[in-house]
Structure 1
Amino acid sequence: MPKALIIGAGDGLSASLARLLAREGYAVALAARNVAKLDALVAETEAVAHACDAASEPDIARLFDAEGDAEVVVYNPSFRTRGPIADLVPADVQKSLQVCAFGAFLAAQQAARRMIPRRAGTILLTGASAGVKGYPRSAPFAMGKFALRGLAQSLARELHPQGVHVAHIVIDGGIRSARRPESGDDTLLDPDAIAETYLQLIRQPRSAWSWEIEVRPWVETF
């Protein structure tokens, strides 16, 4: 049974992805700071849950010691702090960079160390609109997501020739959720539909690998 590790699991996109991969025959492992919130998802998907701070080097090392043979690794965490540049709290800005970018480096490094000898594996990094266009009053998130995109591009160029597929997914639009319900005209991204795109990336033949793909609602401007 192939294994998939989803870091930054919650009740949105990562939950949709966990359900889909479980249906497709993957043994799913979930990592989050608060694993209690994953109880229902764990029961539904028969996943294993790990408590993990994505920006902590020791936590990520322990996670990969337990789940390092995963064929698929998805990095999904984000931390956003907003406000005028003059008023931003430096510690919050640092946390945004650590969660959005440094944690992705830690996870990708651990995954690469295990996938390169096998010459196989997939690393998927979840990006955002902020990774390709910086918005006002959102400098920290743009900094973190721009860094994540640079990491993905660099890793793809390094690891693709070694048999490891790296892809960055730009989520360009709002995602439907209980807190953000759909109005009925598909103006929000369906998390189940995004998960299908991740699965397509996992299954891409290596003769036509993508390093980046954007997904957005049909009404989203860009």
Structure 2
Amino acid sequence: MTDAVQQKEANTRVAWIAGVGASAGLGAALARRFARGGLSVAVTGRSRERLDAIVAEIERAGGQALALPGDVTIESELAAIARQLVERGTLEVAIFNAAGATRAPTLDLSAGQFEAAWRVTTLGGFLFARAALPPLLATGRGSLLFTGATASLRGRPPFAAFAAAKAGLRSLAQSLAREFGPRNIHVAHVIVDGGIDGERLRTSAPQRVAERGPDGLLDPDDIADAYWYLHQQGRSAWSHEIDLRPFNESF
């Protein structure tokens, strides 16, 4: 590798987004937003096919992206991805958007289902942070952002497993903010308080989409703008937690 190529890669600003699936979803919207901001975006999820489609979409728009499939519950896979990111450039922002959306009445909820929700959402967030923090700390700055939900703040049936996992992720984010904020890493938690107008909801609950009507769901691109805002905040006025909800959502 020539010195010129090494210098170019050293100057490449990288965003790593875990929990990327369908193009019409929040993970993909985050990838597009940070690519428009001039970062090279690494997208992680379980489906290589979907990741490749999002990479191609970003590249057609003139951005840079890389598909790095992996399972957020497997520490070795996240560590391997983090090593690839260091080779690609300077990690500037890491976003954890994965979640285990288990839904069942409590007496129908198995221990395995409960644990699976925790593994993806809470343990996955911890393992992702463990992988992302060393390169962020080596840079001396950066953002570590987590996707929360209404369930981060309150539990209700049939979301006992999801709520417990999301509450755990929120507590993890608070701990990380207190530990790494003084080291110039902006750790923030975004509560998405409402349904996201994406493929998952439109496929699994089309009746809910119809019921919500105009301004009843969150636009993924608008959510992504909020993450970009968090990343751009000056440290004299960092937000640790923000909540986002559609116009017609009560709270």
Which bin holds the TM-score, normalised by the shorter protein?
over 0.9
Q: Which residue of structure 1 aligns with residue 52 of structure 2?
A: 39
C-alpha distance after superposition, 1:94-130 (max 9, x if no partner)? 1100100101101111222222233201001001110
Q: Which residue of structure 1 aligns with residue 62 of structure 2?
A: none
2:41 match: secondary structure: strand
In the alignment, the residues of structure 2 paired with residue 153 and residue 204 of structure 1 have an alpha-carbon distance, to the nearest angstrom, of 18
In the alignment, the residues of structure 1 paired with residue 213 and residue 39 of structure 2 have an alpha-carbon distance, to the nearest angstrom, of 32
1:91 and 2:120 are equivalent in the alignment: no
Gaps of 5+ in 1: none
Instruction: Choose which of 191, 194, 197 in structure 2 pairs with 1:173.
Output: 194
1:147 and 2:149 are equivalent in the alignment: no
| 1:99-178 alignment runs, 5 A limit | 99-178=120-199
C-alpha distance after superposition, 1:137-156 (max 9, x if no partner)? 21100110000000011111
In the alignment, the residues of structure 2 paired with residue 113 and residue 95 of structure 1 have an alpha-carbon distance, to the nearest angstrom, of 27
| 1:4-19 alignment runs, 5 A limit | 4-11=15-22, 12-19=25-32
1:63 and 2:84 are equivalent in the alignment: no
Residue type of the alignment partner of 1:165: H
Q: Which residue of structure 2 aligns with residue 77 of structure 1?
A: 98
Residue type of the alignment partner of 2:84: A
The alignment yields a C-alpha RMSD, in angstroms, of: 1.5
1:199 and 2:228 are equivalent in the alignment: yes
**Conserved 8 A contact 2:152-2:167:** yes
In the alignment, the residues of structure 2 paired with residue 138 and residue 24 of structure 1 have an alpha-carbon distance, to the nearest angstrom, of 35
Deviation, structure 1 residue 131: 0.5
**What percent of counterpart residues are identical?**
44
Gaps of 5+ in 2: 1-11, 60-64
In the alignment, the residues of structure 2 paired with residue 162 and residue 78 of structure 1 have an alpha-carbon distance, to the nearest angstrom, of 27
Scaled by the length of structure 2, the TM-score of the pair is 0.84
Residue type of the alignment partner of 1:19: R
Deviation, structure 1 residue 39: 2.5
In the alignment, the residues of structure 1 paired with residue 218 and residue 228 of structure 2 have an alpha-carbon distance, to the nearest angstrom, of 16
Scaled by the length of structure 1, the TM-score of the pair is 0.95
Q: How many residues align?
A: 222
1:53 match: secondary structure: coil
Moved more, 52-61 or 32-41: 32-41
Q: Which residue of structure 2 aligns with residue 54 of structure 1?
A: 72
Residue type of the alignment partner of 1:9: V
Q: Which residue of structure 1 aligns with residue 36 of structure 2?
A: 23
**Conserved 8 A contact 2:26-2:198:** no
**Conserved 8 A contact 2:100-2:117:** yes
Moved more, 175-184 or 67-76: 175-184
Between Structure 1 and Structure 2, whose CA radius of gyration is higher? Answer: 2
Deviation, structure 1 residue 40: 2.2
Q: Which residue of structure 2 aligns with residue 209 of structure 1?
A: 238
In the alignment, the residues of structure 1 paired with residue 85 and residue 115 of structure 2 have an alpha-carbon distance, to the nearest angstrom, of 28
In the alignment, the residues of structure 2 paired with residue 15 and residue 155 of structure 1 have an alpha-carbon distance, to the nearest angstrom, of 25
C-alpha distance after superposition, 1:43-83 (max 9, x if no partner)? 12131101200111111111111114421101011112222
